[in-house]
């Protein structure tokens, strides 16, 4: 594997990073591989070794369908921002919509569990402001 942060690559990266540049990444499928069980997702040591130097060069954020708390538990370094639940968490302007979404998700969860809850291999992931159905 080619090491990303050679002196020449770091020089090129610094030239690319203008003041105010934010590096934002999705968690699942970008920073961590997609896995059959959401709870098993994690950053690999290679990804951590690539991201830690980036955090020294520019602000790094994660935008995810996961909840903010979940993402922060899986990322072992400080993020400048973490936006979760597809924008319902971590964006102060969305607080009113988040309250409505939480109520709707609670009702959806009950209905979906009633209709599909006995399907073998089905996992309903309740993230408070959104649901993910894994099968």
* 8 Å CB contact between 27 and 64: yes
pLDDT tens digit sequence for 71-124: 999 999 889 999 999 888 988 777 788 888 889 989 989 998 888 878 888 888
CA angle 63, 69, 74 (to 5 degrees): 75
pLDDT grade for 1, boundaries at 50, 70 and 90: very low
* Residue 78, number of CB atoms within 10 A of its CB: 9
* 8 Å CB contact between 23 and 58: yes
Mean pLDDT of the chain: 87
* 8 Å CB contact between 38 and 134: yes
Measure Cα distances from 78 to 37, 49, 62, 74 in Å.
Answer: 25, 14, 11, 11
Residue 14 confidence (pLDDT) above 80: no
Q: In angstroms, how far is the first alpha carbon of the chain from the final one?
A: 35
* 8 Å CB contact between 38 and 64: no
Residue 6 confidence (pLDDT) above 70: yes
Catalytic residue positions, numbered: 26
pTM: 0.73
pLDDT of amino acid 7? 81
Q: Which domains does the chain have, with CATH numbers?
A: 1-83 (3.40.50.1000), 94-135 (no CATH)
């Amino acid at each position: 594997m080619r090491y990303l942060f050679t002196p020449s690559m770091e020089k090129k990266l610094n030239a690319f990073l203008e003041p105010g540049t934010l590096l934002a990444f999705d968690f699942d499928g970008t920073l961590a591989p997609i896995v059959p069980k959401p709870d098993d997702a994690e950053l690999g040591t290679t990804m951590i070794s690539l991201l830690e130097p980036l955090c020294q060069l520019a602000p790094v954020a994660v935008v995810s369908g996961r909840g903010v708390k979940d993402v922060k538990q899986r990322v072992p370094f400080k993020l400048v921002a973490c936006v979760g639940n597809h924008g319902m968490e971590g964006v102060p302007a969305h607080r009113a919509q988040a309250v409505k979404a939480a109520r709707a998700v609670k009702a959806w969860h009950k209905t979906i569990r009633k209709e599909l809850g006995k399907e073998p291999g089905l996992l309903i992931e309740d993230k408070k402001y959104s649901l993910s159905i894994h099968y």
